[in-house]
Chain A
């Protein structure tokens, strides 16, 4: 089984793809059947992925020498692209995680989407998404990865815009696609550079060649540029500043989508890509620094926005952006292990919280403002308590999952600073402060939503088992999922690392510091939003720091800026181009046509319509020609001179 799984890992993405085809062409009219097909395929895929993971994690050889098999996709002289499978601990972990979360979320969706007229379509999209994402994870080639990366983006577009009757959903879908497209443009350029310079896009091949870049005749500067170009892709996909704007809007999609795509899987594709190409970034310290800074900045930036948002899914979205920044930071300071670890734990607790939020929305009939909720934990105990577990995990309270991964990131950042990197301590400070803010805004949300006074106008009820079951599973994972990466027995770091495995001594001081931050954040939230039943203090603070509050509430007006740019710059220049086209280019053409017409109009007066005049002119011309031919030129006249028999 395990050997079969290892050699047939391509079946993992193929099964959901098949499910997609089956649903689209066969079972669309029967929603229940479609859902069953989709879940069955996904679950088989999960089983297979587990076997793959088992196979990989029992064979340490895969750490250094990944299992790769591929076949030629297309090619020509000087440019061949293979597609294939590359299995190492990192991809096996992702494979396992993605297929599991996807399975859980599909189960959840049977409850959440119950009765939706587009039920089958929804499951077909989910299947297609899972197929693309799993394919991305096992890609052995950057172009293959890019292709699936784009397909993932397409699914995201379709799923965000799933409620097609909502204009906001439509706009959000467009925004998501176009914003990530900008990132893809940079990435595409980077890939082109890599292809042209190194002659391959195979990850293994590149990993071999990039360290010897000087032999390929390029400077460190160019390599830095390439690395940054490649990184623009993840900036778009993983919602890093300044291309983060689409992610919060993406919450227009159904909640399972938000959980699956915009928390657990797709958005981490960027992180995963950076992890996959870390051989490139580790060569160029400049690019790595850029990543670290963008990561850290995104983390704090999104956190400051999240503290004032009112919609439950939006808060979670900004928290996602912030956590993704965290992962990037870890990768930027050179620790694949820490970044992937946070990706792993984050997938569980964030999926959990999104699904919990979905459960809440389901119960409250899509009322999303946290200020209008309260006391829900009494009516929805499973949702509430699992949500609390998620909150503890993300805030970084031991022994929940988030603590270990966050601690790991703080450790590596501190080490990075200690190695004498300029501004390394700034990174550490940003990371720590973000941790504090994270705990604060998460618990602000939890207190407002689940605790405090019940609102009489709400009639919440607990969700069905199909929805709570995934919550319970995810809660369990969020609680214990981090234990494989404790500093005392770092199984995680042993398997998933780049370069030399990380053997950090447990840093108790830092651990304490991190817990203190989390507790402080929670405490602050407790003081402001639980103890203070009228929330007077919170309101007062908002009053006093009105400009800051507004800045945060309006997300630093970045959306407005982009909108202004699109409207006033892009559209306006498009209008200018169009004006130029119909008034200049076209008028040149029409002018030529007009000139022709005018000359025709002038010449037409020669056409008197009197046939005898024509004949007169004809014979005059004949006479002239005859005279010229016969008497003008001696040679011609000679030839005209006689009739020869």
Chain B
């Protein structure tokens, strides 16, 4: 009966993810969008748990639901005028975009349906962190370090960008 529970969990999580995602992209108020984004991220983290990826789920919650969303809220507050009601308008492209994404979804769905995926049948180990660590720090050590550098560089770049503009702003 495990299957049924997990199916149920999947349906609930999928509903939560898709519903909140739809709200994110349709709400007029940007702050609300960001809040619903957190809900979506948590849903995704749940999905990861369902997929036996506890470490990724934890990272998802920490990085996305935590850090990224906080950053986004700050971003919104830094750039947005006081009026938040219509902070997230829709442009003319939605008329084209809606059928496009619909078509894309259908195509991917069809392709998925056509695919014959070979399920290995083996179970993912319950404890993923012990398995992940050696891979990440042995085989993938160089990408790992590169990612670290990337983050540092991104951080520095972000600081530089914002600071520079400020200096210019003072100057002008």
Contacts and interface: CB of A to CB of B under 8 A. Distances in A.
The answer to whether A and B touch in the complex, with CB atoms under 8 Å apart, is: yes
A634 to B, nearest CB: 12
B3 interface: no
A626 interface: yes
A619 B96 CA distance: 11
The 7 tightest CB contacts between A and B, nearest first, are A642-B116, A642-B115, A623-B103, A623-B104, A645-B118, A641-B114, A626-B107
Interface string B106-122: 01001100111110100
Contacts of A630: 107, 110-111, 114
Contact of B93 (A612, A627, A640, A645): A612
A613 interface: yes
Nearest to A641: B114
Which bracket fits the contact residues of A?
10 to 19
Nearest to A619: B100
A588 interface: no
B149 to A, nearest CB: 27
Interface in B117-133: 117-118, 120
A624 to B, nearest CB: 9
A630 B111 CA distance: 8
A612 B117 CA distance: 35
A643 B117 contact: yes
B97 A616 contact: yes
Interface in B66-122: 91, 93, 96-97, 100, 103-104, 107, 110-111, 114-118, 120
Interface class of chain A by DSSP? helix
Interface string A621-645: 0110011001000000000111111
B115 A643 contact: yes
A620 interface: yes
Given A630-B111, A644-B118, A645-B120, 9 more contacts: A613-B93, A616-B93, A626-B111, A630-B110, A630-B114, A641-B114, A641-B116, A643-B115, A645-B118
Chain B residues touching A, range: 10 to 19
A623 B117 contact: no
B168 to A, nearest CB: 22
Nearest to A630: B111
Interface in A594-633: 612-613, 616, 619-620, 622-623, 626-627, 630
7 contacts: A613-B93, A616-B97, A630-B114, A641-B116, A642-B116, A642-B117, A645-B118
Nearest to A613: B93
User: DSSP class of B's interface residues: helix, strand, loop or mixed?
Assistant: helix
Given A612-B91, A630-B111, A640-B111, A619 B117 contact: no
Contact of A623 (B100, B118, B120): B100
Contacts of A619: 100, 104
Interface string A22-52: 0000000000000000000000000000000
Contacts of A626: 107, 111
A640 B118 CA distance: 15
A257 B120 CA distance: 107
A623 B115 contact: no
Which of A613, A622, A623 is the most central at the interface, judged by chain B CB atoms within 10 Å of its CB?
A623
A31 B91 CA distance: 92
A564 B114 CA distance: 90
Nearest to B108: A626
A264 B117 CA distance: 107
Contacts of B117: 642-643
B103 A616 contact: no
Contacts of B103: 623
A627 B97 CA distance: 17
A418 to B, nearest CB: 109
Contacts of A640: 111
B64 to A, nearest CB: 22
A176 B103 CA distance: 87
A644 B100 CA distance: 29
A616 B115 contact: no
B164 to A, nearest CB: 22
Given A612-B91, A626-B107, A641 B115 contact: yes
B97 to A, nearest CB: 7
A644 B118 CA distance: 8
Contact of B100 (A620, A627, A642, A643): A620
A641 B115 CA distance: 5
A53 B103 CA distance: 108
Contacts of A613: 93
A623 B116 contact: no
B100 A616 contact: yes
Contacts of B115: 641-643
Nearest to B120: A645
